[in-house]
């Protein structure tokens, strides 16, 4: 069984939260007793902290304690009868540089998913424009329940960052995964977010493609695939942290996209091909994470096809291979990194694609229960022509993105 990370791993010297305004939402749960310590550590990292509790959180921690440690009145009600103050959730949401809900119990989690807002914490969450983190805490069987797992996944697909629950003894007496991440680990996650870019890729322009492509059959139907675009978007986030200029060519994806990068939205493989060809010339590196449709309908109908026959056939023709085309024609200084999505004989297919498409590296991922399409996690193996392959664990796609860039640096694939 995995054990929780030792608290000593918290890098106390990091004060990246300096002058950052952090909203701490505390929901009801035994882990709320740890939140005064969380506030203390956030303050020590230089942050201003505004605490908002749900009414049930007050069964586990007092407003007085949280107000004293945060040096601001901790809030629970929309209206304070004593001072006559109206606690405006929109203002609070706009004030913050980051919002953290810790502990995030199952009730608050499901309300965040469905958009319910029967308390100040939830209305503020809906108004917040800043990045949001959740640190769930619940008993182990609750945590494993499919509805909780689906809710966690939904929020992550909407761009909320998960600080995963940790393993250890639980208040129920059971032992397993469900404890709120240690306050030090929560602060570490925020510090990492606010860390100044390491600038290792400063001066480099990188083309990333991501998402599925949709190939029209008629005006209302298309051939598509299950790609969400998350892996490519996380690669863009990691590139921004490294100081790169990023151009993202994005197929139909509903996910929030990073700010301050050039984004070209496309729908079909041919549009993606054109956009990539147009921009790759000005780039040093191309990272091709898109799930491009291999075929398109030869003659898409201009009108909705009626169901006049018992069967029908679609004539499909091959789309151009964007990666192959650009990597075969790249200049000496340019690098191309491809992805290989496989269901069987994964390694041999990935190595074959590395050679055939003339790639500098290929990232192999398989479709599995906890990874691949529609998942917020992935596990990959990275191959190059002359390095021993590197296999990751099952990790969040944001961690995989960081790891990929680090490997490309370590192996001097990108210099
Ligand atoms: N790719 C591409 N253009 C295509 C098809 C794939 O640029 N028309 C790229 C993908 O973005 C990915 C790599 O090629 O980086 C491998 O894609 P994958 O779907 O794994 O393999 P294919 O080359 O399509 O081959 P197959 O479907 O036979 O496995």
340 lines ligand 1 (CB under 6 A): yes
Query: Mean pLDDT across the stretch 321-348?
Result: 96
How many whole angstroms separate alpha carbon 22 and alpha carbon 193?
A: 12
263 and 376 within one domain:
yes
329 and 186 within one domain:
no
Report the CATH number that the domain containing residue 117 is assigned in CATH.
3.40.50.1950
How many whole angstroms separate alpha carbon 39 and alpha carbon 22?
A: 10
Q: Dihedral of the CA atoms 32, 37, 43, 49 (nearest 10)? A: 10
Question: For 7-24, how does the pLDDT look when each residue is reduced to its tens digit (9 = 90+)?
Answer: 333 333 355 777 899 999
294 lines ligand 1 (CB under 6 A): yes
Residue 107 annotated among the catalytic residues of the structure: no
Would you say 102 and 60 are in contact if contact means Cβ atoms under 8 Å apart?
no
Beta bridge partners of 101: 25, 134
Position 281 pLDDT exceeds 80: yes
269 and 162 within one domain:
no
The answer to whether residue 398 is domain-embedded is yes
Peptide bond into 103 cis (omega under 30): yes
Report the CATH number that the domain containing residue 273 is assigned in CATH.
3.40.50.10300
Model-level pTM?
0.75
Residues of the chain above pLDDT 90, percent: 79
3-state secondary structure of 54: coil
Check 19, 191, 225, 345 and give the catalytic one: 225
Number of independent structural domains in the chain: 2
Residue 126: Cβ within 10 Å count:
14
Residues of the chain above pLDDT 70, percent: 95
- Which pLDDT belongs to residue 4? 36
Residue 240: Cβ within 10 Å count:
18
- Which pLDDT belongs to residue 193? 83
Atom of ligand 1 nearest to the CA of 338: 15
103 lines ligand 1 (CB under 6 A): no
274 and 238 within one domain:
yes
221 and 342 within one domain:
yes
Confidence of residue 1 (pLDDT cuts 50, 70, 90): very low
Q: Which residue range(s) make up the domain with 355?
A: 205-303+312-410
Q: How far is CA 351 from CA 175, 192, 317, 345, 361, in A?
A: 42, 34, 26, 10, 10
Mean pLDDT score of the chain:
92
Out of 268, 287, 339, 359, mutate this one to test ligand 1's pocket (max ligand atoms within 8 Å of CB): namely: 339
């Amino acid at each position: 069984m995995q054990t929780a990370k030792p608290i000593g791993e918290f890098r106390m010297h990091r004060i990246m939260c300096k002058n950052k305004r952090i909203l701490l939402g505390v929901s009801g749960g035994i882990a709320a007793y740890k939140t005064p310590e969380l506030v203390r550590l956030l303050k020590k990292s230089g942050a201003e902290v505004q605490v908002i509790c749900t009414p049930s959180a007050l069964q586990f921690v007092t407003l007085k304690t949280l107000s004293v440690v945060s040096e601001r009145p901790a809030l629970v009600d929309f209206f304070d009868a004593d001072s006559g103050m109206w606690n405006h959730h929109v203002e609070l949401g706009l004030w913050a540089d980051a919002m953290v809900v810790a502990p995030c119990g199952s009730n608050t989690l499901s309300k965040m998913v469905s958009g319910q807002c029967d308390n100040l914490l939830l209305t503020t969450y809906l108004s917040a424009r800043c990045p949001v983190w959740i640190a769930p805490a619940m008993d182990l069987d609750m945590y494993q329940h499919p509805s909780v797992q689906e809710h966690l996944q939904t929020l992550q697909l909407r761009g909320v960052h998960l600080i995963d629950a940790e393993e250890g003894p639980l208040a129920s007496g059971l032992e397993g995964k469900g404890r709120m991440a240690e306050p030090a680990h929560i602060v570490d996650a925020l510090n990492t977010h606010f860390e100044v870019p390491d600038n290792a890729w400063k001066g480099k322009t990188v083309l990333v493609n991501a998402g599925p492509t949709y190939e029209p059959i008629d005006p209302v139907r298309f051939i598509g695939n299950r790609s969400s675009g998350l892996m490519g978007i996380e690669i863009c986030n990691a590139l921004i942290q490294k100081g790169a200029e990023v151009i993202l060519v994005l197929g139909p994806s509903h996910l929030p996209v990073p700010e301050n990068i050039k984004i070209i939205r496309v729908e079909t493989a041919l549009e993606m091909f054109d956009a990539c060809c147009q921009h790759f010339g000005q780039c040093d590196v191309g990272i091709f994470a898109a799930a491009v449709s291999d075929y398109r309908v030869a003659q898409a109908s201009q009108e909705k096809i009626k169901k006049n026959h018992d069967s029908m056939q679609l004539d499909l023709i091959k789309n151009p291979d964007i990666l192959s085309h650009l990597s075969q024609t790249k200049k000496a200084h340019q690098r191309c990194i491809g992805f290989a999505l496989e269901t069987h004989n994964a390694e041999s297919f990935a190595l074959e694609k590395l050679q055939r498409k003339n790639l500098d590296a290929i990232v192999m991922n398989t479709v599995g229960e906890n990874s691949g399409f529609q998942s917020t996690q992935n596990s990959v193996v990275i191959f190059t022509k002359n390095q021993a392959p590197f296999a990751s664990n099952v990790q969040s796609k944001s961690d995989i993105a960081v790891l990929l860039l680090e490997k490309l640096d370590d192996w001097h694939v990108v210099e």
